[in-house]
Amino acid sequence: LGLLLAVIVTAASASDNTIGMDLLDQATTTYPTLTKTWVDAGFKNRVVEHGATLGVDVEIVTKNPDVKGFSVVKRRWVVERTIGWLMHHRRLVRDYETQPHNSASMITLAMIDNLAKRLTTETTPTWREPLKPQHAQNT
């Protein structure tokens, strides 16, 4: 569904494997029934083994090496769609936050806003949609 289960914001220099294991710990603590997850090729066997100890089947999704150019990667569209939803929030598009925990909070708030709009079927203009002109009333 592309719903946000856990958030960790780190420096780009942090190891994918360490982050992946921390993220699995956070997600399984909050959602103990989690049984399956997909990760990209940046993650290695340490994350798969750690997931197995937590009872989570971690599947590494890779691009088909036989296909030249663009190819659809299994489950990648779910992640890209969720990132697209989050990018409708201007504060996430610009790097305003200086602390990682503040960034994680803003991501969580943006996802809460997206879910609330889905539940209420509210459609509010985003920064991408121009406001429609209102007609002046004669009094």
- Strand 57-61 to 36-40 pairing: parallel
* Contact assessment for residue 40 and residue 61, using Cβ atoms and an 8 Å cutoff: yes
Query: With 70 as the cut, is the pLDDT of residue 135 above it?
Result: no
Domain presence at residue 99: yes
Q: Does the model's pTM come out above 0.95?
A: no
Task: Tell me the mean pLDDT in the region 119-123.
Answer: 75
Domain range for 91: 16-114
Residue 103 lies in a domain: yes
In a domain, 26, yes or no: yes
Is 24 contained in some domain?
A: yes
Q: Is residue 120 part of a domain?
A: no
Q: How confident is the model at residue 71 (pLDDT cuts 50, 70, 90)?
A: confident
Asked if residue 65 is part of any domain, the answer here is: yes
Q: Tell me, yes or no, whether 122 lies in a domain.
A: no
Q: Is residue 90 part of a domain?
A: yes
Q: Phi first, then psi: give them for residue 56, nearest 5 degrees.
A: -115, 130
Percent of the chain residues past pLDDT 70, beyond the cut: 87
Q: What is the dihedral of CA 103, 109, 114, 115, to 10 degrees?
A: 130
Q: Could you tell me how many helices (H) and strands (E) the chain has, helices first?
A: 5, 2
Structural domain count, the chain = 1
- In the predicted model, what is the mean pLDDT of residues 37-55? 89
